[in-house]
Amino acid sequence: MRNVNELNYPLCLAPMVGLTHVSLRRLMNDYMPKNATTHWPTEMLNSRRVPRENLKTTPETLRRSEENNLVPQILGNEEIPIEKSVIRLVNEWGASGIDINMGCPVQKALKHNYGVSLMGDVDYAAKVVEITKKHSTVPVSVKLRAVGSEKSVPELIVFVQKLVDAGADWITLHPRTAEQKRRGSADWNQITELKKHVSIPIIGNGDIQTADDVIQMLTTTGADKAMAGRALAARPWMLWQLGEKLNFENPIAFENQKAPATAEEEGAEYGRALLKFIDYCEEDFMLNAGVSESVTLRKIQFFIKTTHVWLEFGHALMAVASRAKTLNDLRVLVGQFFQQQQRMNLRTELRQ
Ligand SMILES: Cc1cc2nc3c(=O)[nH]c(=O)nc-3n(C[C@H](O)[C@H](O)[C@H](O)COP(=O)(O)O)c2cc1C
Alpha-carbon distance of 303 to 233, in angstroms, equals 8
How far is the centre of ligand 1, averaged over its atoms, from the C-alpha of 343 (Å)?
25
In the structure, what pLDDT confidence band is assigned to residue 329 with cuts at 50, 70 and 90?
Answer: very high
Alpha-carbon distance of 139 to 161, in angstroms, equals 17
User: Which of 229, 253, 277 is a domain's end point?
Assistant: 253
The answer to whether 102 touches 118, Cβ cutoff 8 Å, is: yes
- Give the E-state strand segments of 80-122 in sequence order: 98-102
CATH code, 80:
3.20.20.70
pLDDT of residue 352: 66
Task: Say whether 12 is catalytic.
Answer: no
Q: Is the CB of 299 under 6 A from ligand 1?
A: no
Phi, psi of 285 (to 5 degrees): -90, -55
pLDDT of residue 119: 79
The answer to whether 289 touches 299, Cβ cutoff 8 Å, is: no
Q: Quick one: 229 and 325 in the same domain? A: no
Is the pLDDT higher at 101 or at 177?
Answer: 101
Return the number of other C-beta atoms located less than 10 Å from residue 343's C-beta: 16
pLDDT of residue 180: 76
Sign of the dihedral defined by the CA atoms of residues 64, 70, 76, 77, in that order: positive
Q: Quick one: 271 and 128 in the same domain? A: no
Q: Is the CB of 190 under 6 A from ligand 1?
A: no
Please determine, for residue 116, whether its predicted confidence score (pLDDT) is greater than 80: no
Which residues partner with 174 through β-bridges?
A: 145
348 belongs to a structural domain:
no
Q: Is the CB of 44 under 6 A from ligand 1?
A: yes
**Is the pTM higher than 0.75?**
yes
Per-residue pLDDT reduced to its tens digit, 213-262: 999 999 999 999 999 999 999 999 999 999 999 999 999 999 999 999 99
- Structural domain of 309: 263-337
Q: Return the percentage of the chain with pLDDT > 90, whole number.
A: 86
349 belongs to a structural domain:
no
Q: Quick one: 32 and 166 in the same domain? A: yes
Q: Quick one: 126 and 47 in the same domain? A: yes
Domain count, the chain: 2
SS3 at position 203: strand
How far is the centre of ligand 1, averaged over its atoms, from the C-alpha of 236 (Å)?
16
How far is the centre of ligand 1, averaged over its atoms, from the C-alpha of 323 (Å)?
27
User: Which atom belonging to ligand 1 lies closest to the Cα atom of 143?
Assistant: 11
Q: Is the CB of 14 under 6 A from ligand 1?
A: yes
Catalytic residue chosen out of the listed positions 32, 104, 156, 168: 104
